[in-house]
Amino acid sequence: MIEEKSQNFIEEIIEEDLKNHKYTQIITRFPPEPNGYLHIGHASSICLNFGLTKKFGGYTNLRFDDTNPVTEETEYVESIKEDVKWLGFEWGNELYASDYFETLYKYAIQLIQEGLAYVDDSSSEEIASLKGTPTEPGKNSPFRDRSVEENLEFFTKMKAGVFPDGTKTLRAKIDMAHPNMLMRDPVLYRIKHAHHHRTGDKWCIYPMYDFAHGQSDSIENVTHSICTLEFVPHRELYDWLIEKLRIFPSKQYEFARRNLTYTITSKRKLLQLVNEKFVDGWDDPRMTTISGMRRRGFTPESIRDFCERIGVAKRENLVDMGLLEFCVRDHLNKIAQRRMAVLDPVKLILINYPEGQVEEVMSENNPEEENAGGVRPLFFSRELWIEREDFMEVPAKKWFRLAPGAIVRLKSAYIVKCEGFKKDDKGNITEVHCSYIPESKSGSDTSGMHVKGTIHWISVPHAGIAEVRLYDRLFNVENPAVDDGDFRTHINPDSLRIIKKAYIEASLKEATAGEKFQFIRKGYFTLDKYSTPELPVFNRTVTLKDTWAKESKK
């Protein structure tokens, strides 16, 4: 599943460039369009761009590619900054392509003056109809041979707001028969009387991506401009503009977009899920947005680890969601505090434990890491909550948990033997009765008994109450984006299960935002933003084992 890491072909290029003294310092940029929240695909691009300058020195700019006034919002700018910081990266400069509108305008004038750009009165349909096809050349626009003076006059008037939207464009004058369709007199500027989130109503002409992106790179002296594969055909135009304008020669390199199974990595579709209320906002814990993953309890370390493992590829492919979950599990196993929580409770009564007696038993906070967090006390008493699924009236084969006559260890406490149980009229188990073996206390066990099963528990009078949200993958097919028609029909109806009343050990009542827990035998959890002091709400970040592994091998 994981593609060969071509020891990062971009690193090889940079090494070569430094060796040849082509540049003295490496500058990269991460250039999001602020039209949505960042997702796991962006994380890959962030790790790549920032990773390169971390490795080779220099810096990475955070540049908002905000040349399209209609879809962009300040809320998105703020979320993007927060996400990049949270992932653990510091940018060299915070920049906006819109800061370059003035410079870009001057570049356009320069091209006009040198006979390399012209104002076209054709409509977008007319332009398209003269474009030709990959196998047939296009035709020159009737406005292609306007004089420099006329072009200057019209372009200035376009800027001054004289013309309505869509009535004129500025186009590069290259070659209508060029084998690369993008070189057939590409549009550089369009008229759009729209309010921009930063420049307000100052501009009514906006540069196209191709005229803004490369020039922005160049203005910032970006040495290696890394983008995804769909921009390969744009590279020729990128180079043409830089050459004709005689500006800093930034170079574009492409890598494969990173897409993941069982999720969506398109801001447009994610926005649709948000707008149509399939999810609880951009940070819904089922969304593979960075904010969603953060809320769900993923760590920046695990996301960086994932990006590192998938590396940089030259071919598109789907990365297994299981790998991301593996990285999360792997990191949380090292850092999460072990706690007890009972999600589907049934009462266990220790018939030979004195009524009213309470003792403290010690339990390890994290046995995976040496001296990680030591131990914590747990209250132990006659009545305990255990998981309903840990008792079977008629035990299955190889059942090592509770059943009539069976013995198990209560984690960090005593060995108990099941002596009986109670049922209600409907046949539901309401109580499990056990005797406990006083000399079997964890740490000082002199009982000489061996038990195969260990279960978790919570002392009834000391238990706290919490809401627990169990998340699963948002989609139930590997590639929900494939039929563009309706990816929404593939939403996993079981992607969220809410347990209104779960029992948590006393120490969890003091849990704070951002803390990571392993609920023993149940998975990794963290507090949700909807938690209150009265009712903590826990999100399940990931299960302890990959429950989808079999599914994806089918």
Residues classed as catalytic:
33, 257, 267
Nearest to Mg ion of 194, 535 (CB atom): 194
Burial of 405 by CB count in 10 Å (0-12 exposed, 13-18 middle, 19+ buried)? exposed
Q: Which of residues 446-465 bind Mg ion (CB under 5 A)?
A: none
Q: Is 205 helix (H, G, I), strand (E, B) or coil?
A: strand
Residue closest to Mg ion (Cβ) = 33
Q: Would you put residue 448 in left (φ > 0), alpha (ψ -120 to 50) or beta?
A: left
Q: Which of residues 14-73 bind ligand ATP (CB under 6 A)?
A: 31-33, 41-42, 44-45
How many residues make contact with ligand ATP (CB under 6 A)? 15
The rounded Cα 297 to chain-centroid distance in angstroms is: 12
Q: Is 95 helix (H, G, I), strand (E, B) or coil?
A: strand
Q: Which does 265 bind (CB under 5 to 8 A by kind): ligand ATP, Mg ion, none?
A: ligand ATP
Q: Which residue has the tokens 């010690």?
A: 362
Nearest to ligand ATP of 40, 413 (CB atom): 40
Nearest to ligand ATP of 227, 520 (CB atom): 227
473, 263 in Cβ contact below 8 A? yes
Amino acid 469 reads R
Tokens representing 50?
Answer: 């920032």
Closest CA to 9 of 226, 317, 190, 236: 226
Q: Which of residues 241-300 bind ligand ATP (CB under 6 A)?
A: 257-259, 265-267
Q: Which does 259 bind (CB under 5 to 8 A by kind): ligand ATP, Mg ion, none?
A: ligand ATP
Nearest to Mg ion of 209, 399 (CB atom): 209
277, 287 in Cβ contact below 8 A? no
Nearest to ligand ATP of 146, 258 (CB atom): 258
Can you tell me the distance from the alpha carbon of 169 to that of 158, in angstroms, rounded to the nearest whole number? 8
Nearest to Mg ion of 45, 288 (CB atom): 45
Can you tell me the distance from the alpha carbon of 63 to that of 210, in angstroms, rounded to the nearest whole number? 15
Residues 6+ apart with CB under 8 A from 26: 14, 17, 18, 52, 53, 56, 57, 58, 223, 224
- Give min distance, CB of 515 to ligand ATP, in A: 30
How many residues make contact with Mg ion (CB under 5 A)? 1
Q: Which does 71 bind (CB under 5 to 8 A by kind): ligand ATP, Mg ion, none?
A: none
- Give min distance, CB of 208 to Mg ion, in A: 13
Contact mark string toward Mg ion, 25..44, x via CB under 5 A:
--------x-----------
Nearest to Mg ion of 33, 82 (CB atom): 33
Q: How big is the chain by its Cα radius of gyration, in Å? A: 31
- Give min distance, CB of 35 to Mg ion, in A: 7
Q: Which does 345 bind (CB under 5 to 8 A by kind): Mg ion, ligand ATP, none?
A: none
Q: Which of residues 193-232 bind ligand ATP (CB under 6 A)?
A: 227-228
Please enumerate, as own/partner, the contacts of 478-481 that have beta carbons within 8 Å and a separation of 24 or more.
478/261, 478/262, 478/318, 478/552, 479/261, 479/318, 480/262, 480/263, 480/264, 481/259, 481/264, 481/265, 481/266, 481/269
Q: Is 409 helix (H, G, I), strand (E, B) or coil?
A: strand
- Give min distance, CB of 326 to Mg ion, in A: 29
Q: Does 308 bind Mg ion (CB under 5 A)?
A: no
- Give min distance, CB of 74 to Mg ion, in A: 18
- Give min distance, CB of 40 to ligand ATP, in A: 7
Residue closest to ligand ATP (Cβ) = 41
- Give min distance, CB of 264 to ligand ATP, in A: 9
| Contacting residues toward Mg ion, per CB under 5 A | 33
| Contacting residues toward ligand ATP, per CB under 6 A | 31-33, 41-42, 44-45, 227-228, 257-259, 265-267
